[in-house]
Structures are given as structure tokens and as C-alpha cells.
Amino acid sequence: MGTYLSRMAYLLYKRSVSLDYEVRGLINYKLSCCVNALLQSFSATTELLDILNRWHPSDGIDKNNVPLQLKNTLEAMRDKSYPAPHKDFLNCLYRQAIQRFTQQDADEIFHIILSLSKKQIADAALAQEISSLYEIKVETQVGCLNCKFIQRMPNSLFSLPLAICKRENSLESCINSFFQPQMLTDSEVVYCDKCEKKQPSTYVVKLVSLPPILCVHLKRFRNDEGFTRKLYEKVTFPETFSTAIFAAGQSENADCLKANEDYSLYAVVVHMGTITSGHYTAFISSNQGWYYADDSCVQPSTWTDVQGTYGGYHQRYRETAYLLLYRKNCRNSSG
Ligand SMILES: [Zn+2]
């Protein structure tokens, strides 16, 4: 029953938000599959284009301005008369932030694009709107086991970095692990301001607030002593979830974690292959349903296909979800 109701709420929500655009393919330039997949997710984030469209810089042709080139690209992606709408944006990134002809980490590039957009938009109010759209606010608490003093450090994240701990994982189990307290002892002891010396401590991250667009980063690339490997473990995730799954991680300073707010999945950035020989694609949800974008090739898809990116060692090297983009569902006043 609950599943049926959340599905109904999701369908009603999809009808109320403007997701009515056609997903279009993007040619792969100099191994640009990672940026291509991210552009598909940014294009599906109509809220971002709404912010960028309210910005009218006097110099409309600055080739090195990331938010300007992003805005031009997202507009051009909606017009099929542009054969390569993302070429200027790619060159802009290549000139100042990323290397060509190399394997990229989609989470890293996602952060670079949003950080440079905030920095270069030259409009403090719009920069704040980009932050408010994506930033997850957390509080790191380090508690001294000797005097019980708790040091609190506020922080904000563009994506929620979830470690993959077990052979079989779910989004909820990864979230619970993220907010699990840890003991810092032996070589990890932390300086306590009250005791004025290093003391065994507890370390915990608490959630303060969730943004309208929640990016979840499934940490599939693990660095062990300088050697990076890919984790193929299974991580299941739902098409919609209630914020109740964050209840255990909530800070006592949480300002707006209302019970039973829902989030719906609308884009998945997918990595396939290995760490050295990989490829990025994206699943995008629009009013017409799910689409699969593999560079210039776009085809209709299904939620069952999206579920095929859960991973697992039996399907090693196949597509594995890497970034999950969820949107907070609007509630009307009667809901
Ligand atoms: Zn202390």
C-alpha cells in the first residue's frame, strides 16, 4: 500500500514539474563520456538551468567561464539544430580544470563544475542559489572520551559520499554506515581543547539538512596504498524514498528534516568497465519515462534497466551506478 501511494505521489509530482524535454545524444570528444553523462544529468536538473537563465553577464562570450558555457550548452542541448552543443563547454573545462584523453572520476568532475559555477557566476545571490540547490549540510562531532567535550564543525557537501562496505548493500545500509559513530584510538587520537592534549575520541557525522537535489556518490573507486581499484559489490537503491531513512543520522541541530518528505530518482550516472578502461553513460527520467544516453546514442529505457546497474560480482565490468540524483518532491498545501 505504501509503495502504491508513493508511486502515485511520484507520478503526480512528475506531472507538476517541467521535465518535458527530449533527451538528446552528445558526441564523444577526446574521451568526453564522463562530462557527457554529467551534462545529461545537469540537463535533467531544470532547476539549475532556471538559475543560470536568470544570469545575464555583460561579457556573453567569455570562453573560460564555466557557468556561462554550461548555460549555453544546456540551452543548446534543447535545440537539435546544434550538432555539438557541448564543444565550447568541454574546451572550457579542458583549458582550466580537467585533462583531455584521460579517465575522469564523475564525482570529482561534478564537484569541479559546481564549484567553478559558484565561483565564476559573479552574482552572489545566484551563487547562493546553486549552493542551496545541491548542498547537503552536515556537522562533524568529535567527542573527547575523557572530558566528554564535543567539538562541532559545520560542513557542506555537493554529494553524499557513501562507502560500499559489504558484498550486498542497499542505499539505506550505506547511509546508516555513513552516520555510524567511530572510535578514534591509538594512532588516531585527537587533540581536545579542554584537556589540552590528545585523547581517545568518538567521531560522528550528523545530518543538518538535505537539499532539493540530492546527489549520492557510491564510492566504487577505493585507494589502497596508492593502488586504486573498482568495487563491483551490489548496491540496491529505490526509485523513491522517504527522508525517514536519514532519521538515525539526524543532528539535534537539524533545521528542516521534516518527517516523510519524499525524494525521487531522476538521473543515474553509470560507470562500466574497469578503473583503467572504463566508460560513463547516464539514465535520465523525463515525462516520457526513462532514457539511456550513451554519448551520441539515446534510447528509451525502463526502471528495470536502471535496476540493472545495482552491480554485483556476477556481472563484473557491466554497468554500475556511480552517482544517483534524487529530487525532493513538491507537496501541495493539501498534501
Ligand atoms: Zn577532553
**How far is the centre of ligand 1, averaged over its atoms, from the C-alpha of 4 (Å)?**
51
Would you say 262 and 242 are in contact if contact means Cβ atoms under 8 Å apart?
yes
Would you say 326 and 214 are in contact if contact means Cβ atoms under 8 Å apart?
yes
**How far is the centre of ligand 1, averaged over its atoms, from the C-alpha of 156 (Å)?**
26
Would you say 69 and 88 are in contact if contact means Cβ atoms under 8 Å apart?
yes
Q: Is residue 322 scored above 80 in pLDDT?
A: yes
Q: First and final CA of the chain: distance in angstroms?
A: 17
**How far is the centre of ligand 1, averaged over its atoms, from the C-alpha of 200 (Å)?**
9
**How far is the centre of ligand 1, averaged over its atoms, from the C-alpha of 195 (Å)?**
4
Would you say 45 and 102 are in contact if contact means Cβ atoms under 8 Å apart?
no
**How far is the centre of ligand 1, averaged over its atoms, from the C-alpha of 202 (Å)?**
11
Would you say 30 and 91 are in contact if contact means Cβ atoms under 8 Å apart?
no
**How far is the centre of ligand 1, averaged over its atoms, from the C-alpha of 246 (Å)?**
29
Would you say 91 and 102 are in contact if contact means Cβ atoms under 8 Å apart?
no
Would you say 287 and 276 are in contact if contact means Cβ atoms under 8 Å apart?
no
Environment class of 135 (CB within 10 Å of its CB; exposed 0-12, middle 13-18, buried 19+): buried
Residue 45's alpha-carbon distances to 2, 59, 212, 269, 320, in angstroms, are 27, 25, 11, 13, 21
For residue 228, what pLDDT is reported?
A: 85
Residue 92: name the closest of 72, 113, 69 by CA: 69
For residue 20, what pLDDT is reported?
A: 63
**How far is the centre of ligand 1, averaged over its atoms, from the C-alpha of 185 (Å)?**
13
For residue 333, what pLDDT is reported?
A: 42
Ranges 114-118, 189-193, 243-247: which has the least confidence? 243-247
User: ipTM for the complex?
Assistant: 0.98
**How far is the centre of ligand 1, averaged over its atoms, from the C-alpha of 144 (Å)?**
5
For residue 330, what pLDDT is reported?
A: 75
Residue 200's alpha-carbon distances to 89, 148, 154, 180, 186, in angstroms, are 48, 11, 21, 17, 7
**How far is the centre of ligand 1, averaged over its atoms, from the C-alpha of 198 (Å)?**
8
Residue 127's alpha-carbon distances to 154, 250, 253, in angstroms, are 19, 27, 25
**How far is the centre of ligand 1, averaged over its atoms, from the C-alpha of 148 (Å)?**
6
**How far is the centre of ligand 1, averaged over its atoms, from the C-alpha of 180 (Å)?**
21
Would you say 283 and 270 are in contact if contact means Cβ atoms under 8 Å apart?
yes
| Position 148, amino acid | K
Of residues 307 and 11, which shows the higher confidence score? 307
pLDDT band of residue 250 (cuts 50, 70, 90) is confident
CB-proximal residues (5 Å) to ion ligand 1 = 144, 146-147, 149, 192, 194-195, 199
Would you say 23 and 281 are in contact if contact means Cβ atoms under 8 Å apart?
no
Show the cell assigned to 218: 557510491
Q: How distant is the alpha carbon of residue 153 from its chain centre?
A: 22
Q: Is residue 230 scored above 80 in pLDDT?
A: yes
**How far is the centre of ligand 1, averaged over its atoms, from the C-alpha of 186 (Å)?**
15
- Break the chain down into helix, strand, coil percent, rounded to 5: 30, 30, 35
Overall size of the chain counted in residues: 335
**How far is the centre of ligand 1, averaged over its atoms, from the C-alpha of 197 (Å)?**
8
Instruction: Give the tens place of pLDDT for each residue, 20-77.
Output: 668 889 999 888 999 999 999 999 999 999 999 999 887 667 889 999 999 999 999 9
**How far is the centre of ligand 1, averaged over its atoms, from the C-alpha of 311 (Å)?**
44
Q: Are strands 150-157 and 289-294 parallel, antiparallel or unpaired?
A: unpaired
Would you say 141 and 204 are in contact if contact means Cβ atoms under 8 Å apart?
yes
* Residue 97 to residue 79: CA distance in whole angstroms: 27
**How far is the centre of ligand 1, averaged over its atoms, from the C-alpha of 299 (Å)?**
58
Ranges 19-23, 51-55, 124-128, 264-268: which has the least confidence? 19-23
